Copies of this chain bind each other. A is one copy, B any other.
Amino acid sequence: MKKHEHFMQQALKAAHQAARLGEVPVGAVLVLDDRVFVAHNAPISSHDASAHAEIRAIRSACQAIGNYRLPGSTLYVTLEPCCMCAGAIVHARIDHVVYGAEDPKTGAVHSLYALLSDPRLNHRPKLTRGILTEPCAEVLRNFFRQRRKRP
């Protein structure tokens, strides 16, 4: 459990970094053997609709190891993945997905859909939720509260 909290803490730091850049604060950490790939949500600044934290971490890891699949990897993410990211997790054959806060609006792991538990898709990662849920949710709440305050 301590390992999960350690990596989620790193993902949370990345989420705070996203907030400073004006991006919705979500962070992800992909761990593969002794390599760690950290990314934050960045669609606006990178001009890329697909640049969620999870996709960016997956892409970095794929590039680094020269493979489009990442068996044996664990993905930590501060927010429940959306449909796009859940789909990418299946394509990348990620072993284990660990997330912090639930996303009742667009979450596709337990909330709106259960894409990562669908026996019709050809990969089902292990799932762990509830790691540092409160700080992962808080960074998002604070971000949107600040944004609503703007004139």
> Which B residues lie within 8 Å of A68 (CB)?
43-44, 46-49, 51
User: Which of A47, A106, A120: most chain B CB closer than 10 A?
Assistant: A47
Binding-face segment, A4-12, A14-22, A84-92, A131-139: A84-92
The answer to whether the Cβ of A58 comes within 8 Å of any Cβ in the partner chain is yes
A119, B113: Cα distance in complex, Å:
13
**A67 x B84 contact (CB < 8 A):** no
**Which residues of chain B are near A84, meaning CB under 8 Å?**
83-88, 90-91
In the complex, A70 Cα to B50 Cα: how many Å? 12
A147 to B66 alpha-carbon distance, docked (Å): 23
A108 at the interface (CB under 8 A from B): yes
Question: In which size bucket is the chain A interface?
Answer: 35 or more
Residue contact B63 to A47, C-beta cutoff 8 Å: yes
B92/A87 in contact, CB under 8 A: no
The answer to whether A67 and B47 have CB atoms under 8 Å apart is: yes
Q: Of B50, B55, B69, B113, which one neighbours A113 at CB under 8 angstroms?
A: B113
Are A121 and B106 neighbours in the complex by a CB distance under 8 Å? yes
Most chain B beta-carbon contacts within 10 A, residue among A62, A68, A85, A112: A68
Identify 16 residue pairs between A and B in the complex whose beta-carbon atoms are under 8 Å apart, listed by A's number: A47-B65, A48-B59, A48-B68, A49-B59, A49-B62, A49-B70, A49-B88, A49-B93, A50-B58, A50-B88, A83-B87, A83-B90, A83-B121, A84-B87, A112-B118, A112-B120
Which 5 residue pairs are nearest across A and B when measured between Cβ atoms?
A84-B87, A83-B87, A49-B92, A43-B68, A49-B91
